[in-house]
Copies of this chain bind each other. A is one copy, B any other.
Amino acid sequence: MQPLRIFNTLSREKEPFQPLTPPHVGLYVCGPTVYNYVHLGNVRTFMTFDVLFRYLTHLGYKVRYVRNLTDVGHLVGDGDEGEDKIGRMAKLEKLEPMEIVQRYTNDFHTILAQFNFKPPSIEPTATGHLIEQIEAVKKLIDKKLAYESNGSVYFDIERYNAQGGRYGQLSGRILDDLLTETRELDGVGEKRNPLDFALWKRAAPEHLMRWPSPWGEGFPGWHLECTCMSTKYLGQQFDIHGGGMDLKFPHHECEIAQGSGLNDIPPVRYWMHTNMLTVNGQKMSKSLGNSFLPGELFSGNHPVLERAYSPMTARFFMLQSQYRSTLDFSNEALQSAQKGYKRLINGLRLIRQMDYVAVEGMAIDPAQGEEIRNGVQGCYDGMNDDLNTAVTIAHLFTLLKKINSLYTGQLSPAALGEESFRFLKTSFVTIIEDVLGLLEEKQGNAEDLAAGLLDLYRDFKTQKQYQKVDQIRAYFKANGLVIKDMKTGIDWAYEE
Protein backbone atom coordinates (compact mmCIF):
# COMPACT_ATOMS: atom_id res chain seq x y z
CA MET A 1 0.00 0.00 0.00
CA GLN A 2 1.10 3.57 -0.69
CA PRO A 3 1.87 5.41 2.53
CA LEU A 4 -0.29 8.41 3.41
CA ARG A 5 0.95 11.51 1.62
CA ILE A 6 -0.10 15.01 2.60
CA PHE A 7 0.30 18.23 0.64
CA ASN A 8 2.34 20.48 2.88
CA THR A 9 1.68 24.16 2.19
CA LEU A 10 5.13 24.91 3.58
CA SER A 11 6.99 22.86 0.96
CA ARG A 12 4.28 23.11 -1.74
CA GLU A 13 4.67 19.34 -2.16
CA LYS A 14 2.97 16.12 -1.28
CA GLU A 15 5.11 14.57 1.43
CA PRO A 16 4.90 11.15 3.06
CA PHE A 17 3.33 11.59 6.47
CA GLN A 18 5.71 10.73 9.28
CA PRO A 19 4.61 11.68 12.77
CA LEU A 20 7.15 12.97 15.27
CA THR A 21 6.40 10.33 17.91
CA PRO A 22 4.33 7.51 16.45
CA PRO A 23 1.78 6.15 17.20
CA HIS A 24 0.86 9.62 18.53
CA VAL A 25 -0.27 12.35 16.15
CA GLY A 26 -0.94 15.96 17.14
CA LEU A 27 -3.49 17.79 15.00
CA TYR A 28 -4.49 21.43 15.49
CA VAL A 29 -7.24 23.13 13.49
CA CYS A 30 -8.29 26.77 13.71
CA GLY A 31 -11.90 26.73 14.86
CA PRO A 32 -14.58 29.39 14.43
CA THR A 33 -14.87 32.83 15.95
CA VAL A 34 -18.16 32.31 17.76
CA TYR A 35 -19.90 35.60 16.98
CA ASN A 36 -22.21 34.37 14.21
CA TYR A 37 -23.66 31.25 12.59
CA VAL A 38 -21.06 28.90 11.16
CA HIS A 39 -20.93 29.14 7.38
CA LEU A 40 -20.53 26.39 4.84
CA GLY A 41 -16.95 27.26 3.96
CA ASN A 42 -16.01 26.62 7.59
CA VAL A 43 -17.99 23.39 7.52
CA ARG A 44 -15.94 22.18 4.58
CA THR A 45 -12.71 22.89 6.47
CA PHE A 46 -13.89 21.10 9.60
CA MET A 47 -15.17 18.19 7.49
CA THR A 48 -11.76 17.78 5.87
CA PHE A 49 -10.09 17.51 9.25
CA ASP A 50 -12.88 15.33 10.61
CA VAL A 51 -12.06 12.88 7.81
CA LEU A 52 -8.32 13.21 8.49
CA PHE A 53 -8.94 12.59 12.22
CA ARG A 54 -11.06 9.55 11.36
CA TYR A 55 -8.60 8.20 8.82
CA LEU A 56 -5.51 8.58 11.03
CA THR A 57 -7.43 6.85 13.85
CA HIS A 58 -8.49 4.11 11.44
CA LEU A 59 -4.83 3.61 10.47
CA GLY A 60 -4.05 2.98 14.14
CA TYR A 61 -2.64 6.35 15.18
CA LYS A 62 -3.55 7.83 18.55
CA VAL A 63 -4.60 11.30 17.51
CA ARG A 64 -4.92 14.25 19.84
CA TYR A 65 -7.15 16.60 17.87
CA VAL A 66 -7.34 20.18 19.17
CA ARG A 67 -9.78 22.61 17.59
CA ASN A 68 -10.17 25.96 19.33
CA LEU A 69 -13.05 28.37 19.79
CA THR A 70 -12.08 32.01 19.37
CA ASP A 71 -14.07 33.94 21.96
CA VAL A 72 -12.01 37.12 22.16
CA GLY A 73 -9.42 39.10 20.22
CA HIS A 74 -10.62 38.56 16.65
CA LEU A 75 -11.26 42.08 15.39
CA VAL A 76 -13.62 43.22 12.68
CA GLY A 77 -11.53 43.32 9.47
CA ASP A 78 -9.16 40.60 10.77
CA GLY A 79 -6.45 43.20 11.49
CA ASP A 80 -5.10 45.01 14.53
CA GLU A 81 -7.62 47.85 14.63
CA GLY A 82 -11.33 48.11 15.24
CA GLU A 83 -13.94 46.44 17.36
CA ASP A 84 -13.87 42.89 18.64
CA LYS A 85 -16.22 40.77 16.49
CA ILE A 86 -17.90 39.33 19.56
CA GLY A 87 -18.00 42.63 21.43
CA ARG A 88 -19.59 44.31 18.42
CA MET A 89 -22.31 41.67 18.17
CA ALA A 90 -22.91 41.92 21.93
CA LYS A 91 -23.54 45.65 21.61
CA LEU A 92 -25.84 45.15 18.62
CA GLU A 93 -27.88 42.49 20.40
CA LYS A 94 -27.64 44.14 23.84
CA LEU A 95 -26.16 41.04 25.38
CA GLU A 96 -23.11 40.21 27.43
CA PRO A 97 -20.27 39.10 25.08
CA MET A 98 -20.23 35.68 26.72
CA GLU A 99 -23.93 35.26 25.89
CA ILE A 100 -23.01 35.76 22.24
CA VAL A 101 -20.22 33.23 22.61
CA GLN A 102 -22.58 30.71 24.22
CA ARG A 103 -25.30 31.10 21.63
CA TYR A 104 -23.03 30.61 18.64
CA THR A 105 -20.97 27.89 20.29
CA ASN A 106 -24.22 25.97 20.80
CA ASP A 107 -25.20 26.56 17.18
CA PHE A 108 -21.78 25.43 16.01
CA HIS A 109 -21.97 22.20 17.97
CA THR A 110 -25.50 21.50 16.78
CA ILE A 111 -24.62 21.98 13.12
CA LEU A 112 -21.45 19.91 13.35
CA ALA A 113 -23.32 17.09 15.06
CA GLN A 114 -25.85 17.09 12.20
CA PHE A 115 -22.96 16.59 9.79
CA ASN A 116 -21.75 13.70 12.00
CA PHE A 117 -18.42 15.30 12.93
CA LYS A 118 -16.53 13.61 15.73
CA PRO A 119 -15.85 15.98 18.63
CA PRO A 120 -12.19 16.95 18.93
CA SER A 121 -10.12 15.71 21.86
CA ILE A 122 -9.86 19.23 23.26
CA GLU A 123 -11.80 22.35 22.29
CA PRO A 124 -9.94 25.14 24.09
CA THR A 125 -10.98 28.80 24.19
CA ALA A 126 -8.93 31.97 23.94
CA THR A 127 -10.36 33.29 27.23
CA GLY A 128 -9.37 30.00 28.85
CA HIS A 129 -5.71 30.71 28.04
CA LEU A 130 -5.15 34.36 28.90
CA ILE A 131 -2.41 33.66 31.40
CA GLU A 132 -0.60 31.50 28.86
CA GLN A 133 -0.89 34.35 26.34
CA ILE A 134 0.38 36.99 28.78
CA GLU A 135 3.33 34.74 29.66
CA ALA A 136 4.09 34.28 25.96
CA VAL A 137 4.08 38.05 25.41
CA LYS A 138 6.45 38.53 28.34
CA LYS A 139 8.81 35.93 26.92
CA LEU A 140 8.78 37.49 23.45
CA ILE A 141 9.55 40.89 24.99
CA ASP A 142 12.41 39.31 26.94
CA LYS A 143 13.73 37.83 23.73
CA LYS A 144 13.47 41.29 22.09
CA LEU A 145 11.07 39.91 19.50
CA ALA A 146 8.26 42.12 20.80
CA TYR A 147 7.98 45.64 22.11
CA GLU A 148 5.43 47.62 24.09
CA SER A 149 3.94 50.70 22.54
CA ASN A 150 1.25 52.79 24.19
CA GLY A 151 -0.15 49.92 26.24
CA SER A 152 -0.12 47.48 23.33
CA VAL A 153 2.56 44.93 22.47
CA TYR A 154 3.63 44.14 18.90
CA PHE A 155 5.68 41.39 17.36
CA ASP A 156 8.80 42.80 15.71
CA ILE A 157 8.96 41.33 12.22
CA GLU A 158 12.20 42.98 11.22
CA ARG A 159 13.98 41.71 14.30
CA TYR A 160 12.53 38.24 13.80
CA ASN A 161 13.79 38.07 10.24
CA ALA A 162 17.14 39.51 11.27
CA GLN A 163 17.47 36.60 13.71
CA GLY A 164 16.84 34.07 10.96
CA GLY A 165 13.05 34.08 10.85
CA ARG A 166 11.40 33.82 7.45
CA TYR A 167 8.16 35.75 7.73
CA GLY A 168 6.28 35.13 4.50
CA GLN A 169 7.60 31.61 3.90
CA LEU A 170 4.24 29.86 4.33
CA SER A 171 2.22 32.12 2.10
CA GLY A 172 5.10 32.67 -0.29
CA ARG A 173 5.09 36.42 0.15
CA ILE A 174 8.12 38.64 -0.18
CA LEU A 175 8.76 40.86 2.80
CA ASP A 176 9.39 43.97 0.69
CA ASP A 177 6.12 43.49 -1.21
CA LEU A 178 4.29 43.10 2.05
CA LEU A 179 5.83 46.29 3.36
CA THR A 180 4.63 48.17 0.30
CA GLU A 181 1.13 46.74 0.63
CA THR A 182 0.72 47.58 4.28
CA ARG A 183 2.28 51.03 4.35
CA GLU A 184 -1.08 52.75 4.09
CA LEU A 185 -2.85 50.89 6.91
CA ASP A 186 -4.14 52.34 10.18
CA GLY A 187 -2.40 51.90 13.47
CA VAL A 188 1.05 52.17 12.03
CA GLY A 189 1.67 54.97 14.49
CA GLU A 190 2.21 52.56 17.36
CA LYS A 191 4.20 50.11 15.30
CA ARG A 192 7.86 50.25 14.39
CA ASN A 193 7.00 48.58 11.12
CA PRO A 194 3.58 48.38 9.47
CA LEU A 195 3.89 44.57 9.20
CA ASP A 196 4.29 44.13 12.95
CA PHE A 197 1.24 42.51 14.45
CA ALA A 198 -0.43 42.84 17.84
CA LEU A 199 0.25 40.32 20.59
CA TRP A 200 -1.63 42.33 23.19
CA LYS A 201 -3.90 45.32 22.62
CA ARG A 202 -4.70 48.13 24.99
CA ALA A 203 -8.46 48.20 25.53
CA ALA A 204 -10.14 51.46 24.48
CA PRO A 205 -12.61 52.71 27.11
CA GLU A 206 -15.62 51.39 25.17
CA HIS A 207 -14.09 47.94 24.73
CA LEU A 208 -16.15 45.38 26.67
CA MET A 209 -13.75 42.47 26.98
CA ARG A 210 -10.64 43.39 28.98
CA TRP A 211 -8.22 41.98 31.49
CA PRO A 212 -5.35 43.38 33.57
CA SER A 213 -1.83 42.76 32.27
CA PRO A 214 1.67 44.07 32.86
CA TRP A 215 0.90 46.62 30.09
CA GLY A 216 -2.42 47.82 31.47
CA GLU A 217 -5.96 46.69 30.71
CA GLY A 218 -6.30 44.99 27.38
CA PHE A 219 -6.92 41.82 25.47
CA PRO A 220 -4.83 39.35 23.47
CA GLY A 221 -4.09 39.61 19.76
CA TRP A 222 -5.96 37.15 17.58
CA HIS A 223 -2.94 35.18 16.37
CA LEU A 224 -1.50 34.50 19.80
CA GLU A 225 -4.18 32.16 21.13
CA CYS A 226 -3.51 29.48 18.52
CA THR A 227 0.20 29.47 19.28
CA CYS A 228 -0.41 29.16 23.02
CA MET A 229 -3.12 26.52 22.79
CA SER A 230 -1.49 24.35 20.13
CA THR A 231 1.87 24.22 21.88
CA LYS A 232 0.31 23.76 25.33
CA TYR A 233 -1.58 20.66 24.28
CA LEU A 234 0.57 19.30 21.44
CA GLY A 235 4.11 20.42 22.25
CA GLN A 236 6.47 23.08 20.96
CA GLN A 237 6.57 21.26 17.65
CA PHE A 238 3.67 19.12 16.51
CA ASP A 239 2.58 17.20 13.44
CA ILE A 240 -0.28 18.84 11.56
CA HIS A 241 -1.89 22.28 11.57
CA GLY A 242 -4.95 22.84 9.43
CA GLY A 243 -7.31 25.61 8.48
CA GLY A 244 -9.02 27.38 5.63
CA MET A 245 -6.70 28.85 3.00
CA ASP A 246 -7.87 32.37 3.93
CA LEU A 247 -5.98 31.87 7.22
CA LYS A 248 -2.64 31.21 5.52
CA PHE A 249 -1.81 34.89 5.64
CA PRO A 250 -1.45 36.57 8.02
CA HIS A 251 -2.85 34.24 10.70
CA HIS A 252 -0.72 31.15 10.14
CA GLU A 253 2.30 33.15 9.08
CA CYS A 254 2.06 34.91 12.46
CA GLU A 255 1.70 31.60 14.27
CA ILE A 256 4.96 30.38 12.74
CA ALA A 257 6.69 33.62 13.76
CA GLN A 258 5.32 33.45 17.32
CA GLY A 259 6.03 29.77 17.82
CA SER A 260 9.53 29.95 16.33
CA GLY A 261 10.26 33.09 18.31
CA LEU A 262 9.11 31.57 21.60
CA ASN A 263 10.63 28.11 21.33
CA ASP A 264 13.38 28.38 18.70
CA ILE A 265 11.80 25.62 16.67
CA PRO A 266 9.24 25.77 13.83
CA PRO A 267 5.95 24.87 15.52
CA VAL A 268 4.39 22.76 12.76
CA ARG A 269 5.60 19.94 10.51
CA TYR A 270 2.70 19.76 8.02
CA TRP A 271 0.52 22.74 7.17
CA MET A 272 -2.74 21.85 5.43
CA HIS A 273 -5.17 24.33 3.88
CA THR A 274 -8.63 23.73 2.49
CA ASN A 275 -9.97 25.50 -0.56
CA MET A 276 -13.03 27.70 -0.96
CA LEU A 277 -16.66 27.17 -1.88
CA THR A 278 -18.39 28.74 -4.84
CA VAL A 279 -22.08 28.82 -5.74
CA ASN A 280 -22.99 28.37 -9.39
CA GLY A 281 -19.43 29.33 -10.24
CA GLN A 282 -19.39 32.53 -8.18
CA LYS A 283 -17.73 33.29 -4.86
CA MET A 284 -20.18 32.81 -1.99
CA SER A 285 -20.86 36.24 -0.60
CA LYS A 286 -23.59 38.12 1.17
CA SER A 287 -23.53 40.95 -1.34
CA LEU A 288 -24.19 38.54 -4.24
CA GLY A 289 -27.11 37.05 -2.28
CA ASN A 290 -25.85 33.52 -2.93
CA SER A 291 -24.60 32.82 0.58
CA PHE A 292 -26.66 30.30 2.50
CA LEU A 293 -26.14 28.77 5.92
CA PRO A 294 -26.10 25.03 6.74
CA GLY A 295 -29.53 25.41 8.35
CA GLU A 296 -30.87 26.94 5.13
CA LEU A 297 -29.38 24.10 3.11
CA PHE A 298 -31.18 21.55 5.34
CA SER A 299 -34.51 23.40 5.13
CA GLY A 300 -34.23 24.49 1.49
CA ASN A 301 -35.31 27.91 2.70
CA HIS A 302 -33.12 30.15 0.51
CA PRO A 303 -33.73 31.67 -2.94
CA VAL A 304 -30.83 29.85 -4.64
CA LEU A 305 -31.96 26.45 -3.34
CA GLU A 306 -34.59 24.52 -5.29
CA ARG A 307 -35.22 22.13 -2.41
CA ALA A 308 -33.90 20.94 0.94
CA TYR A 309 -30.73 18.84 1.05
CA SER A 310 -30.01 16.60 4.02
CA PRO A 311 -26.80 16.78 6.08
CA MET A 312 -25.56 13.46 4.67
CA THR A 313 -26.29 14.57 1.11
CA ALA A 314 -24.20 17.67 1.81
CA ARG A 315 -21.46 15.61 3.42
CA PHE A 316 -21.35 13.21 0.48
CA PHE A 317 -21.35 16.15 -1.90
CA MET A 318 -18.39 17.82 -0.21
CA LEU A 319 -16.42 14.58 -0.07
CA GLN A 320 -16.83 14.14 -3.80
CA SER A 321 -14.12 16.79 -4.21
CA GLN A 322 -10.60 16.72 -2.92
CA TYR A 323 -10.18 19.37 -0.22
CA ARG A 324 -7.66 21.42 -2.21
CA SER A 325 -10.03 21.95 -5.16
CA THR A 326 -12.66 24.63 -5.11
CA LEU A 327 -16.10 23.15 -4.61
CA ASP A 328 -19.05 24.54 -6.53
CA PHE A 329 -22.54 24.31 -5.05
CA SER A 330 -25.40 24.05 -7.53
CA ASN A 331 -28.81 22.46 -7.33
CA GLU A 332 -27.85 20.11 -10.11
CA ALA A 333 -24.72 18.94 -8.36
CA LEU A 334 -26.52 18.57 -5.02
CA GLN A 335 -29.33 16.56 -6.59
CA SER A 336 -26.85 14.30 -8.26
CA ALA A 337 -25.04 13.91 -4.91
CA GLN A 338 -28.33 12.98 -3.28
CA LYS A 339 -28.82 10.18 -5.79
CA GLY A 340 -25.26 8.99 -5.29
CA TYR A 341 -25.57 9.07 -1.51
CA LYS A 342 -28.80 7.07 -1.60
CA ARG A 343 -27.34 4.49 -3.98
CA LEU A 344 -24.39 4.01 -1.65
CA ILE A 345 -26.59 3.76 1.45
CA ASN A 346 -28.93 1.28 -0.22
CA GLY A 347 -25.82 -0.81 -0.81
CA LEU A 348 -24.83 -0.40 2.83
CA ARG A 349 -28.24 -1.67 3.98
CA LEU A 350 -28.01 -4.64 1.64
CA ILE A 351 -24.54 -5.82 2.55
CA ARG A 352 -25.39 -5.46 6.24
CA GLN A 353 -28.30 -7.85 5.80
CA MET A 354 -26.32 -10.38 3.74
CA ASP A 355 -24.42 -13.23 5.24
CA TYR A 356 -22.06 -15.76 3.76
CA VAL A 357 -23.62 -19.06 2.77
CA ALA A 358 -21.50 -21.86 1.42
CA VAL A 359 -22.87 -23.65 -1.64
CA GLU A 360 -21.68 -27.19 -1.98
CA GLY A 361 -19.78 -27.87 -5.15
CA MET A 362 -19.51 -24.21 -6.17
CA ALA A 363 -15.94 -23.22 -7.05
CA ILE A 364 -14.43 -19.93 -5.94
CA ASP A 365 -13.80 -17.56 -8.83
CA PRO A 366 -10.40 -15.96 -8.11
CA ALA A 367 -11.10 -13.07 -10.51
CA GLN A 368 -13.98 -11.94 -8.27
CA GLY A 369 -11.77 -11.80 -5.19
CA GLU A 370 -9.17 -9.92 -7.20
CA GLU A 371 -11.70 -7.30 -8.24
CA ILE A 372 -12.78 -6.79 -4.65
CA ARG A 373 -9.22 -6.41 -3.44
CA ASN A 374 -8.52 -3.90 -6.21
CA GLY A 375 -11.65 -1.94 -5.34
CA VAL A 376 -10.76 -1.72 -1.66
CA GLN A 377 -7.16 -0.90 -2.53
CA GLY A 378 -8.46 1.92 -4.72
CA CYS A 379 -10.38 3.35 -1.75
CA TYR A 380 -7.21 3.42 0.36
CA ASP A 381 -5.07 4.76 -2.48
CA GLY A 382 -7.51 7.66 -2.74
CA MET A 383 -7.27 8.43 0.97
CA ASN A 384 -3.48 8.09 0.90
CA ASP A 385 -3.16 10.51 -1.98
CA ASP A 386 -3.63 13.64 0.15
CA LEU A 387 -7.16 12.63 1.24
CA ASN A 388 -8.54 12.38 -2.27
CA THR A 389 -11.98 11.29 -1.08
CA ALA A 390 -13.32 11.69 -4.64
CA VAL A 391 -11.23 8.71 -5.70
CA THR A 392 -12.26 6.74 -2.64
CA ILE A 393 -15.94 7.30 -3.42
CA ALA A 394 -15.45 6.26 -7.06
CA HIS A 395 -14.00 2.94 -5.90
CA LEU A 396 -16.85 2.47 -3.42
CA PHE A 397 -19.16 2.53 -6.42
CA THR A 398 -17.24 -0.30 -8.10
CA LEU A 399 -17.66 -2.31 -4.89
CA LEU A 400 -21.35 -1.34 -4.86
CA LYS A 401 -21.77 -3.10 -8.23
CA LYS A 402 -20.58 -6.33 -6.65
CA ILE A 403 -23.02 -5.88 -3.77
CA ASN A 404 -25.90 -5.32 -6.14
CA SER A 405 -24.95 -8.44 -8.10
CA LEU A 406 -24.96 -10.43 -4.87
CA TYR A 407 -28.38 -9.00 -4.00
CA THR A 408 -30.01 -9.80 -7.31
CA GLY A 409 -28.50 -13.27 -7.29
CA GLN A 410 -26.34 -12.74 -10.40
CA LEU A 411 -23.36 -13.43 -8.19
CA SER A 412 -23.27 -15.94 -5.33
CA PRO A 413 -21.30 -15.27 -2.13
CA ALA A 414 -19.98 -18.78 -2.59
CA ALA A 415 -18.34 -17.73 -5.87
CA LEU A 416 -16.43 -15.06 -3.94
CA GLY A 417 -15.46 -17.39 -1.15
CA GLU A 418 -15.92 -16.56 2.51
CA GLU A 419 -12.73 -14.55 2.87
CA SER A 420 -13.44 -12.19 -0.02
CA PHE A 421 -17.10 -11.86 0.96
CA ARG A 422 -16.20 -10.82 4.52
CA PHE A 423 -13.46 -8.51 3.26
CA LEU A 424 -15.95 -6.79 0.97
CA LYS A 425 -18.53 -6.44 3.73
CA THR A 426 -16.14 -5.13 6.40
CA SER A 427 -14.29 -2.77 4.07
CA PHE A 428 -17.43 -1.29 2.52
CA VAL A 429 -19.05 -0.60 5.90
CA THR A 430 -15.86 0.66 7.57
CA ILE A 431 -14.83 3.04 4.80
CA ILE A 432 -18.30 4.55 4.48
CA GLU A 433 -19.09 4.87 8.17
CA ASP A 434 -15.82 5.11 10.08
CA VAL A 435 -13.55 6.82 7.54
CA LEU A 436 -15.88 9.01 5.49
CA GLY A 437 -18.34 9.44 8.38
CA LEU A 438 -21.41 8.87 6.18
CA LEU A 439 -24.39 7.54 8.12
CA GLU A 440 -27.63 5.99 6.95
CA GLU A 441 -30.22 8.76 7.19
CA LYS A 442 -33.42 6.94 8.00
CA GLN A 443 -36.29 7.78 5.72
CA GLY A 444 -39.91 7.12 6.48
CA ASN A 445 -42.05 8.79 9.08
CA ALA A 446 -43.58 6.40 11.60
CA GLU A 447 -46.75 8.49 11.96
CA ASP A 448 -47.31 8.54 8.19
CA LEU A 449 -46.78 4.80 7.88
CA ALA A 450 -49.05 4.20 10.89
CA ALA A 451 -51.71 6.30 9.17
CA GLY A 452 -51.37 4.07 6.09
CA LEU A 453 -51.75 0.94 8.16
CA LEU A 454 -54.77 2.47 9.88
CA ASP A 455 -56.42 3.03 6.47
CA LEU A 456 -55.99 -0.65 5.67
CA TYR A 457 -57.23 -1.54 9.17
CA ARG A 458 -60.48 0.35 8.51
CA ASP A 459 -60.98 -1.51 5.22
CA PHE A 460 -60.36 -4.91 6.82
CA LYS A 461 -62.73 -4.01 9.64
CA THR A 462 -65.48 -3.12 7.17
CA GLN A 463 -64.82 -6.35 5.32
CA LYS A 464 -64.83 -8.23 8.64
CA GLN A 465 -61.41 -9.71 7.89
CA TYR A 466 -60.65 -10.08 11.58
CA GLN A 467 -57.43 -12.00 11.14
CA LYS A 468 -55.95 -9.06 9.23
CA VAL A 469 -57.41 -6.66 11.78
CA ASP A 470 -55.56 -8.51 14.53
CA GLN A 471 -52.42 -8.62 12.44
CA ILE A 472 -52.38 -4.83 12.16
CA ARG A 473 -53.16 -4.38 15.86
CA ALA A 474 -50.11 -6.54 16.53
CA TYR A 475 -47.89 -4.30 14.36
CA PHE A 476 -49.02 -1.32 16.40
CA LYS A 477 -48.53 -3.03 19.71
CA ALA A 478 -45.01 -4.09 18.78
CA ASN A 479 -44.33 -0.38 18.27
CA GLY A 480 -45.74 0.79 21.62
CA LEU A 481 -48.93 2.00 19.96
CA VAL A 482 -52.51 0.96 20.47
CA ILE A 483 -55.42 1.23 18.05
CA LYS A 484 -58.42 3.03 19.52
CA ASP A 485 -61.55 1.55 18.05
CA MET A 486 -64.30 3.92 19.11
CA LYS A 487 -67.82 4.65 18.04
CA THR A 488 -66.69 8.09 16.94
CA GLY A 489 -63.91 6.71 14.77
CA ILE A 490 -60.67 4.78 14.60
CA ASP A 491 -57.42 6.33 15.85
CA TRP A 492 -54.18 5.34 17.51
CA ALA A 493 -52.56 6.42 20.77
CA TYR A 494 -49.42 5.64 22.77
CA GLU A 495 -49.90 2.52 24.85
CA GLU A 496 -50.15 3.66 28.47
Q: CB within 8 Å of B: which residues of A?
A: 64, 96, 98-99, 101-102, 106, 109, 119-125, 127-131, 135, 211-212, 233, 339, 342-343, 345-346, 349, 407-409, 442-450, 452-453, 455-456, 468, 471-472, 475-476, 478-481, 486-488, 493-496
Contact = CB atoms under 8 A, between A and B. Distances in A.
Contacts of A342: 494-496
A99 B122 contact: yes
A123 B109 CA distance: 14
A452 B480 contact: no
B130 A106 contact: no
Given A472-B452, A481-B444, A131 B131 contact: yes
B496 A343 contact: yes
Given A131-B212, A495-B342, A98 B124 contact: yes
Given A408-B488, A442-B447, A444-B450, A102 B131 contact: no
A343 B494 CA distance: 8
A408 B493 CA distance: 13
B135 A121 contact: no
A445 B449 CA distance: 9
B233 A98 contact: yes
B98 A443 contact: no
A321 B448 CA distance: 36
30 contacts: A64-B99, A96-B122, A101-B122, A102-B121, A102-B122, A106-B119, A109-B109, A125-B128, A127-B129, A130-B130, A130-B131, A131-B212, A135-B212, A342-B496, A346-B493, A349-B493, A407-B488, A408-B488, A442-B446, A443-B481, A443-B495, A444-B480, A445-B479, A446-B449, A449-B453, A452-B472, A452-B475, A453-B456, A456-B456, A456-B468
In the complex, the count of this chain's copies comes to: 2
A472 to B, nearest CB: 7
Contacts of A345: 494
Most-contacted residue by chain B among A96, A98, A339 (CB, 10 A)? A98
Given A339-B496, A442-B446, A453-B456, 7 more contacts: A96-B233, A346-B494, A443-B494, A443-B495, A444-B446, A444-B450, A456-B471
Given A211-B131, A453-B449, A123 B102 contact: yes
Most-contacted residue by chain B among A343, A478, A488 (CB, 10 A)? A478
Most-contacted residue by chain B among A349, A443, A471 (CB, 10 A)? A443
Most-contacted residue by chain B among A101, A233, A475 (CB, 10 A)? A475
A409 B486 CA distance: 10
Nearest to A492: B444
A408 B479 CA distance: 24
B444 A447 contact: yes
A479 B448 CA distance: 8
A102 B124 CA distance: 9
A471 B476 CA distance: 19
A125 B105 CA distance: 14
Contacts of A475: 448-449, 452
Given A102-B119, A488-B408, A443 B479 contact: yes
Contacts of A471: 452, 455-456
Contacts of A98: 122, 124, 233
A252 to B, nearest CB: 23
A106 to B, nearest CB: 5
Contacts of A135: 212
A115 to B, nearest CB: 16
A450 B494 CA distance: 18
Nearest to A495: B342
A444 B446 CA distance: 6
A233 B407 CA distance: 61
Contacts of A409: 487-488
Contacts of A478: 448
A445 B450 CA distance: 10
A168 B106 CA distance: 38
A222 to B, nearest CB: 17
A96 to B, nearest CB: 6
Contacts of A453: 449, 452-453, 456
